[in-house]
Amino acid sequence: MGIAWKLTADFNNQRHLFSNTITTNYLIETYICSCGDTFFILKYSQQKLDYRCKTCNNKLYYDANHAINSIDDFLNKNKKMTIVYESKIQTNETDITVLCTTSIPTRIDFFNKKVIFSHKQLYSLSLKLNGDIEENYLIRLDQKLLLNIKENLTKYIEASDFFHLPKPNDEKLTLNMASFFLKNKHLKNFDFYYWDNINSLKKQELYINTALQEISNLPKAKSIKKAVYKNYVYQILHYKKFTFKFIKIFCKHIKDINILEKLLSLKFTKSIYQHTDEYKLNILMMFLTTQYTDKQILKLFSHYRIRINTEFFYHTMGLYMLAKESIKSNFTKVSCTPETLHGEFLRCFQVPSHKHIHNKVFHYSATDKNRCIQLDNYQIKLPKTGLELHRWSTILHNCITNYSQKITSRKSTIYGFFKNDKLLFIAEVSNDNIIEVAQKYNAKLTPNQNILLEKWHNLSLKGTIR
């Protein structure tokens, strides 16, 4: 069912038997009902009518003159109306566009009793040859309708091969996929859509095999080529994303072919693959290769691939970046395991700061002290001295020693949460807000610890938990 319209026209502008001899003050009101019935009424300009369709008794008709003069204002004032859309696809040398229009009566031929309709554009969606997606609309389309329009556009792109894009494997082409390949015309295989950091590859014609060769530093050994390909297949199948930073860094720094093959065969978590900073990983590997053998590095990363050691991995990289100057001067070679390496980096990080804070005594307000309570088998405490803060940092393997200046200047306060006299986590409070919490190795709190923290917050603080 369409829209019921009312179109008003000046009788003097119509062709009729006396059009060249007389002028009247008549108007023609044309009622185009959604049931298909059309009725013409000749009336005085000031005459008011209350028309009902003789076929279906409909009395609701939308003002076509308003829509003709200002479609956006008309749509804004008739938001509840159900608009009937028509869509069509247009192409030219530079883009492909789907137009969404609605038909509005714009003119009448009173002599022949005809109504002439025109299409008013309400929405357009274009995909440009350069990959840009452009949308223009006068009305917010229903999400299901919008999805249907996009699907029809991509079906046309795929069926017509308009842009000569790489062919999808066993999945539907999407508008974002088409846009990606138009912006990266040098990529010749569809799976490149799932590659991370694609901009780091050379801007030349690339297929999957040549790109894998490039990121792995053009290895000659067949075993390495095979291991790289298996790594790629594993990530695509399990994570629907390929991140090659580990392949690139391992191939750059590890010289032993057998060890390199085993490193490339390690299966890391999705989080480690996709969230590891390539620059930090490269800097850490540069250090590790000066201190440890390739075999020891393999053992270390074999531990990091286990989900429970993910936090070790992130925090160890972060610590090295913070403390690399101190590590150069103070590093003592320890066993190459996640725990010991992290502990040694932390010790080096604390060397410059802990020497001058050990004798520092912290002073707190009565409000700060009143928050030190016993709650659900937990004791909440404040560090009394820099030495005690340093001990907390050592227990939790984090950098809170560095917070001594913030405590002294009263910018924030560190609270320790103990259970059975064992420090389990800390909370940083500033202006009545909890701004940071962390347990060992800066890991997130457990659900039970979060419940305890919220209970303490409700009892002791006025602000929020960020």
pLDDT in tens, 440-456: 888 889 999 999 999 99
What whole-number distance in Å separates Cα of residue 313 and Cα of residue 342?
9
Average pLDDT over residues 349-361: 70
pLDDT, greater one: 21 or 293: 293
Can you give the pLDDT at residue 442? Answer: 80
**What does DSSP assign to residue 306?**
S
**What does DSSP assign to residue 389?**
H
Q: What is the pLDDT of residues 50-61, one digit of tens each?
A: 899 999 999 999
Can you give the pLDDT at residue 157? Answer: 92
Mean pLDDT of the chain: 89
Average pLDDT over residues 80-108: 87
Q: What is the largest CA-CA distance in the chain?
A: 110
| H/E segment holding residue 7 | strand 5-10
- Taking alpha carbons only, the member of 10, 51, 6 closest to residue 32 is 6
Distance of CA 421 to the CA centre of its chain: 43
- The CA-atom distances, in angstroms, between 8 and each of 29, 56, 61, 82, 130 are 5, 21, 12, 22, 46
Residue 355 pLDDT greater than 70, yes or no? no
Q: Which long-range contacts (CB under 8 A, 24 or more apart) does 287-294 make?
A: 287/320, 287/324, 287/327, 288/253, 288/336, 289/253, 289/254, 291/331, 291/333, 291/336, 292/336, 294/254, 294/255, 294/256, 294/259, 294/260
- Taking alpha carbons only, the member of 421, 370, 425, 419 closest to residue 396 is 425
Can you give the pLDDT at residue 246? Answer: 96
In degrees to the nearest 10, what's the CA dihedral of 439, 445, 451, 455? 40
Residue 438 pLDDT greater than 70, yes or no? yes
Residue 23 pLDDT greater than 80, yes or no? no
- For the chain, the residue count is 466
Tokens of 114: 């005809």
pLDDT, greater one: 138 or 7: 7
Q: What is the pLDDT of residues 117-142, one digit of tens each?
A: 988 888 899 999 999 999 988 777 77
Can you give the pLDDT at residue 281? Answer: 96
Can you give the pLDDT at residue 196? Answer: 92
- Taking alpha carbons only, the member of 384, 381, 396, 330 closest to residue 359 is 384
What DSSP line would sit under 124-135, residue for residue?
A: EEEEETTS-EEE
Average pLDDT over residues 1-9: 86
441: left (phi over 0), alpha (psi -120 to 50) or beta: left
Average pLDDT over residues 405-421: 92
What whole-number distance in Å separates Cα of residue 148 and Cα of residue 141?
11
Q: What is the pLDDT of residues 389-398, one digit of tens each?
A: 888 988 888 8
What whole-number distance in Å separates Cα of residue 345 and Cα of residue 323?
7
Residue 233 pLDDT greater than 90, yes or no? yes
Q: What is the pLDDT of residues 252-291, one digit of tens each?
A: 999 999 999 999 999 998 889 988 999 999 999 999 999 9
- Taking alpha carbons only, the member of 226, 293, 223, 299 closest to residue 253 is 293
